[in-house]
Structure 1
Amino acid sequence: MVGVKTVKIDGECIYIFNSAIYLFESSIGFTLELDIIVSEVTVKKYKKEETLIIEIELEDGRNIHSIMHVKILSGGLPQLNLFCELADIQEFDGLHIVTENDAWFPNIEEGITLEEIRKVEMPIEEVSLKLKLPIDQVEWLKSQKKRQLNEMFQEFIYDNWKKNNS
């Protein structure tokens, strides 16, 4: 089976943790399918898109350029399923063909953890807290810059998290 070397979405190279490229045969024809494990940041970036311009470099040196539909697969690890319909499968020699009735299906999540993914690209989320504090602490908080508060809270949380999880 042919492996994927690199993937570019709309000209931007993305980090892939694992992937599977294959042809899916159904009663209506063939589709080229690319399943990729990516970071949560990448999923968030493309989750509202319907189609993307995809460039795939295969390990055997071949390049595939296509406009592909995108599906976000929920459940386990963050992943994208990219697919497009094919009229001719001749140029895709060496790709595994999966049918609707096949028992085999690529498991690209095996051996990868969310912690490993987050070491490469940690998502940043905004959070709001409601606290009851003495007025002097409120005044002090309001006088601080947002960037400094973010750094202070991150450090505080990581320090306490490490103590409680050790």
Structure 2
Amino acid sequence: MVRVKSVKVDGEGIHVFNSAIYIFESSAGITLELDLIVSEVAVKKYKKEETLIIEIELEDGRIINSIMHVKILSGGLPQLNLFCELDAIDEYEDFHRVNENDSWFPNIEEGITIEEIRKVEMPDEDISLKLKLPIDQVEWLKAQKKASLNELFKEFICDFRKKQDLK
């Protein structure tokens, strides 16, 4: 079975938690498919792209360079599905083949959790809060810089969660 060693997207290496590379055969044609478990940050970065320049290094030393289409697979762990059409499949004879009528597809989520992924790369999200506070606290909050408030709330939430865990 062919295994992926590393993946570069537009020349930049990305952290891959698990992957599967295979040939997909359908009535529409034959494609090279690369399924990747990546971070939520990577999915967010590439979800609006239609195609990417991909460099795949296989464990046996082979390198595949291709322009591949991008699909974001929803549900479960953050995943990218990259694929490109193939005309000749001679150099891919040792790749696993999946037919559109098969019930088997590679399960790359097994043994990985979202918590493990977030230990490597934690996404940041914007949030808006509506609070009712005394005017002097509101004035103080408005006078602070966004970066300072972000740090303040991160520390507050961490401390609060620790206290909750002790109860």
TM-score, with normalisation over the residues of structure 1? Answer: 0.96
Match of 1:8 in 2: 8
After superposition, the CA RMSD in angstroms is 1.1
Match of 2:62 in 1: 62
Q: Aligned ranges for residues 10-159 of structure 1 at < 5 Å?
A: 10-159=10-159
Amino acid corresponding to residue 156 of structure 2 in structure 1: F
Q: Give CA deviations for 1:10-67 in whole Å, capped at 9, x if unaligned.
A: 1110000000000001123210000000000000000000011100000011000000
Work out the percentage of aligned pairs sharing the same amino acid.
77
Deviation at 1:96, TM superposition (A): 0.1
Deviation at 1:120, TM superposition (A): 0.3
Structure 1 gap segments, 5+ residues each? none
* Distance in 2 separating the partners of 1:26 and 1:92: 16
* Distance in 2 separating the partners of 1:110 and 1:163: 33
More deviation, 59-68/152-161: 152-161
* Distance in 2 separating the partners of 1:51 and 1:34: 13
Deviation at 1:165, TM superposition (A): 4.2
Amino acid corresponding to residue 75 of structure 2 in structure 1: G
* Distance in 2 separating the partners of 1:22 and 1:77: 20
* Distance in 2 separating the partners of 1:82 and 1:157: 38
Deviation at 1:161, TM superposition (A): 2.2
Task: Give the number of aligned pairs.
Answer: 166
More deviation, 155-164/28-37: 155-164
Instruction: Provide runs of 4+ in structure 1 moved above 3 Å.
Output: none
